[in-house]
Amino acid sequence: MSPPPDLDLGELLRATAGGDQQAFALLYDSTGARVHGLVVRILRDHAQAEEVTQEVYLQVWRTASSFDPTRGSARSWLLTLAHRRAVDRVRSAQAQSDRDQAYESRHDRPAPDPTAEEVEHRMQGQAVRSAVQELGPPHQEALELAYFEGLTHREVSERLGVPLGTAKTRIRDGLRRLRDQMGGRA
């Protein structure tokens, strides 16, 4: 049975707000197809669109009293509810997808291999030590004292018997030469 064409949706909403089930049924019959069509266009999934349409009419049943005819038509109020609910569903689905991808990216990594990491660390250390040996005495001594023995610049200058600025220059220049020698890996 189709609703009468001269039906006032605002009156049906007011009656629905009062708990009139017949008015609610007439409201649904006269607007359900349009509301569902809007939701389908937004969601592009008929099963989800049916769920959202049901949620919209549940919201109408519960909040019909919030309809204010001075702010717009009953049809626009219904379609606004439907649009908002459908967009919320899209956003929720996107957020869930983002969370799933983030979880998978964190948990799909292979477990770190401590043995392989230790071997790689030692090989890098050996490469650096060999490269430092090839630098020559002034830079080699400064870098060994600063990095292998952990001395400060002031302590390096005292140990080598050179001014502080000279010690800093030897360390800086030694690091540059080391970087160039190792092909930018240091």
- B/e letters for 135-144, b = 16+ CB within 10 Å, e = fewer, are beebbbbbbb
Looking at 107, 125, 150, which one is the last position of a domain?
107
Asked whether residue 81 is assigned to any structural domain, the reply reads: yes
**What is the predicted pLDDT for the residue at 6?**
59
Which segments of 108-135 does DSSP mark as H helices, in order?
114-133
What is the overall mean pLDDT for the chain? Answer: 87
Domain of residue 168: give its range.
Answer: 114-181
Task: Tell which residue, 32, 43, 28, has the closest CA to residue 88.
Answer: 43
Q: Is residue 100 located within the same domain as residue 158?
A: no
Q: What confidence tier does 120 reach under pLDDT thresholds 50, 70, 90?
A: confident
Residue 186, in any domain of the structure: no
Residue that terminates a domain, selected from 75, 107, 139: 107
Residue 3 lies in a domain: no
Is residue 24 located within the same domain as residue 74? yes
Total domain count, the chain: 2
- Asked if 9 contacts 27 with a C-beta cutoff of 8 angstroms, the reply is yes
Could you report the per-residue pLDDT of 41-79, keeping only the tens digit for each? Answer: 999 999 999 999 999 999 999 999 999 999 999 999 999
Examine the pLDDT at 144 and tell me if it is beyond 90. Answer: no
Same domain, residue pair 81 and 103: yes
pLDDT beyond 50 at 174: yes
pLDDT of residue 154: 92
What share of the chain has pLDDT > 90, as a percent?
A: 50
Residue 63, Cβ density class (10 Å: 0-12 exposed, 13-18 middle, ≥19 buried): middle
Q: Is residue 4 domain-resident?
A: no
What mean pLDDT do residues 158-167 have? 90
Q: Is residue 1 part of a domain?
A: no
pTM above 0.75, yes or no: no
**Pair 27, 95 in one domain:** yes
Question: Is there a single domain that holds both residue 176 and residue 99?
Answer: no
pLDDT for the residue 186:
46
Of 23-27, 130-134, 147-151, 153-157, where does mean pLDDT reach its minimum?
A: 130-134
What local confidence, expressed as pLDDT, does residue 56 receive? 96
Please check whether residues 96 and 155 belong to one and the same domain: no
DSSP string, 135-159: T-HHHHHHHIIIIIS---HHHHHHH
* Last-in-domain residue among 107, 122, 151: 107
Q: What is the CATH number of the domain that holds 44?
A: 1.10.1740.10
Residue type, 2: S
Q: Average pLDDT of 18-44? A: 95
Q: Is the pLDDT of residue 147 over 70?
A: yes
Percent of the chain with pLDDT over 70: 93
Same domain, 144 and 90: no
Q: Residue 160's domain is classified under what CATH number?
A: 1.10.10.10
Give the contacts of 27 (CB within 8 A, at least 6 positions apart).
9, 12, 13, 16, 60
